[in-house]
Amino acid sequence: MPRPAMTETIEPTYSRVITALYPVLQRITVREWSGLENVPKTGGFVAACNHTSNMDHFPLAHFLVEAGRAPHYLAKDSLFKPPGVKQIMYGCGQIPVYRGTSRATSALSAAKEALQRGACVCIYPEGTITREPDFWPMTGKTGAARLALETGVPLLPIAMWGTRDIMWPYRDKLPKLLPAKLVQVSAGPPVDLDDLRDQPITATTLRTATTRLMDQITGLLEDVRGIPAPAERFDPRGHAADPTRGGKTA
């Protein structure tokens, strides 16, 4: 099946990469998707998704491409170093993150510029693969909310489930691509930030926006999994959860 037409102009390298990967992703996943109509067709927006596996990037990209949008990830700078991979990453407009260096803030500046150009920027607001024992979303970091408030773009909540069956976090070194695994992705309406957009961007404002975002992602995931999330959201600070032990698979 040919890939869907894009609703935006993208880099030639990115177009070739999408064309090459689309049929592969069609083969290795059985897809249950909902909320494609909530993905903005034009203009910049932040796509914020829960994070349960190192394989999340590909099904999330697949979902967004199906909606006609090309995702731009904030990715660790080491991925921009190997020859060949470096050219693909830059050629696809991905954004390097220089953690723990004086250049760490450059990623947010680059993300803002991409959003202002009308791009889709993908962020995992938890900042890492969840440590919650049953893989529910943890407390979120404020970067996604900050980008949305500083640029005025929509903040789109997305929930994903099933990628652990392709690559279990912190255990599997290589993905199990066949047989095809069920991957469920659901996008909700953009988070309502209207009452916050004219306010100063303070720690309180960012935390309010982030709480709304994580509430919506968690609600979407409850619908996908068919069970309620814990009443209290997991905060990794002060916990020593072991994600390799697994948890419920519902």
User: How many of the other CB atoms lie within 10 Å of CB of 101?
Assistant: 10
The string of pLDDT tens digits covering residues 85-112 is 888 888 888 888 776 666 667 788 889 9
Q: Is the pTM here over 0.75, yes or no?
A: yes
Overall average pLDDT of the 61-79 stretch: 90
CA distance 161 to 249: 10
CATH for the stretch 12-167+182-226: 3.40.1130.10
Overall average pLDDT of the 237-242 stretch: 64
The kind and range of the H/E element at 187 are strand 181-187
Where are the chain's structural domains?
A: 12-167+182-226
The confidence band for 249, taking pLDDT boundaries of 50, 70 and 90, is very low
| Res 216: pLDDT | 98
Among 3-17, 85-99, 196-210, the range scoring the smallest mean pLDDT is 85-99
Overall average pLDDT of the 163-188 stretch: 94
| Res 32: pLDDT | 97
The confidence band for 247, taking pLDDT boundaries of 50, 70 and 90, is very low
Q: Which is higher by pLDDT, 109 or 76?
A: 109
The string of pLDDT tens digits covering residues 25-39 is 999 999 999 999 999
| Res 250: pLDDT | 39
